[in-house]
Amino acid sequence: MTTAAAPTDALAQDFVAFAVEAGVLRFGEFKTKAGRLSPYFFNAGLFDDGAKLGRLAGFYAQRLIASGLAFDMIFGPAYKGITLAAAVSMELARLGHNKPFAYNRKEAKDHGEGGTLVGAPVRGRVLIIDDVISAGTSVRESIAMIQAAGATPCGVTIALDRQEKAAENGVDMSWSAVQYVSEQLQLPVISIAGLADLLQYLRSTSDVVASGHSAAVQAYRDRYGV
C-alpha cells in the first residue's frame, strides 16, 4: 500500500512556509523521541489561535479532498488529535463534505455516558487524524479502539511526514513509522507535506535565516532519511 504524500507541490510548499511563519516549524538542535539530535522541530501544539488552526484545517481538508480517499468519519486520538478532528471536520463541512467526528479520553469516565469515546458513534470507514507519526503507537491504539467499536479504520492523515528511519530500542530500522503504518498496518497515510518539501522550501526561500539551515537538514536526511 502506497503512502499518499505528494512528492512536492504548491500545497505542500505553502504549508511549510505557513508552519515556519507561525513558529510551529523551528530550526536549531532538538532531541527527538528516538534520541537523535534533529536540526528542526515541528510542534503542532503551537497552532494555538483561531486563525492558525483554521488555516491548518484548510490544508488538511484540501489534501484529503484531493486524495479521493473515501471515509465516513474522523477519529482524533487524545490529545492533539481531538482539536485536529474538530477543526478539520468543520472545514470539510464548509467545503461541502460534512463528516462526523469522535475522539477518545485518556481515562474512562465512570459517570454520565461513561466509556472512553466521545462524539459521534464510531462506525463505518474511519479516518484517523494526527499531527505526525513518530512510532505508530498512537495509530495502533486508535485502530484497536475503532475496531472494538465495530468500525473499520480506513486511513491516517498527518500534517508532516518526517520521512526518517524508525528506531526500536536505540536501533535504526530500514523503514519509517509512516511506512510501517502503510505497509504493515495496511492503511494509506495522507500527509500535507514531508521532509522533502521542507528541504525544497529551505533551498528556494528568500529568508536568509531559514535557508541557512538547509545544509544541516540535508545532512540529517542523508543520515536518517528513507
Q: Return the residue matching grid coordinates 482524533.
A: 76
Q: How far is 174 from 183, CA to CA, in rounded Å?
A: 13
Do strands 125-129 and 115-119 pair parallel, antiparallel, or not at all (unpaired)?
unpaired
- Length of the chain counted residue by residue: 226
DSSP symbol at 225: B
Neighbouring residues of 23: CB distance < 8 A, sequence distance ≥ 6: 46
| Whole-number Å distance between alpha carbons of 155 and 103 | 15
Is 31 one of the annotated active-site residues of the chain? no
**Cα distance from N-terminal residue to C-terminal residue, the chain:** 16
Q: Residues 31, 109, 165, 213: which is the catalytic one? A: 109
- Active-site pick, 31, 111, 165, 213: 111
Given a contact cutoff of 8 angstroms between Cβ atoms, the answer to whether 191 and 64 are in contact is no
Distance of alpha carbon 110 from its chain centroid, rounded?
Answer: 31
Q: Which three cell numbers stand for residue 98?
A: 460534512
- Grid cell digits, residue 78: 487524545
Neighbours of 51 (CB within 10 A): 9
Active-site residues, by number, are 109, 111
